[in-house]
Amino acid sequence: MENKYLKLRLKYLNDYDFINYLKSLKTKTIKSIYKDYLLEIERLEDIYLNKREGRSKDYKEYKDEKRFIVYFNSYLLTPKSTQTNTVKSVRKFSNIQR
C-alpha cells in the first residue's frame, strides 16, 4: 500500500494537486490529519511570503514547518502496522507548533 502512495506523490508535481487527491480519499485517518496538514501548509506559505517581503521570521521556524510536511509524507509511506504511531507524532508536532 505504501508504494501506491509513493507513486502517487511522485506523479503529482506540486502539493496543490496532491492535496486535491487527499481530499478525495474516504479514509478517516487520512482525513483526520489532512486538516492539520492544510493548516501547516498555509502557515508555511505565510512564513515564506513574510521572508520575501522583508518581514522575516526566524529561519528555525521555517525549517520546523518544513519538517511537518516530511512527517506527513512519511506517514503516507509507512506500512499500515506502524501508521498509528506516525499519526500520533504528526499530531503531537502540530500541537507543539501552535
pLDDT at 37: 64
Q: Which domain holds residue 53?
A: 2-97
Query: Is 23 buried (19+), middle (13-18) or exposed (0-12) by CB count in 10 A?
Result: exposed
pLDDT at 19: 65
Instruction: Work out the pLDDT band at 83, boundaries 50, 70, 90.
Output: very low
Number of domains in the chain: 1
Interatomic CA distance for residues 59 and 61, integer angstroms: 5
pLDDT tens digits for range 23-58: 666 566 565 556 666 666 666 666 666 665 555 544
Q: Give the chain's mean pLDDT.
A: 57
Distances (CA, A) of 15 to 19, 79, 97: 6, 22, 21
Asked if residues 74 and 86 have their Cβ atoms less than 8 Å apart, the reply is: yes
Interatomic CA distance for residues 83 and 81, integer angstroms: 6
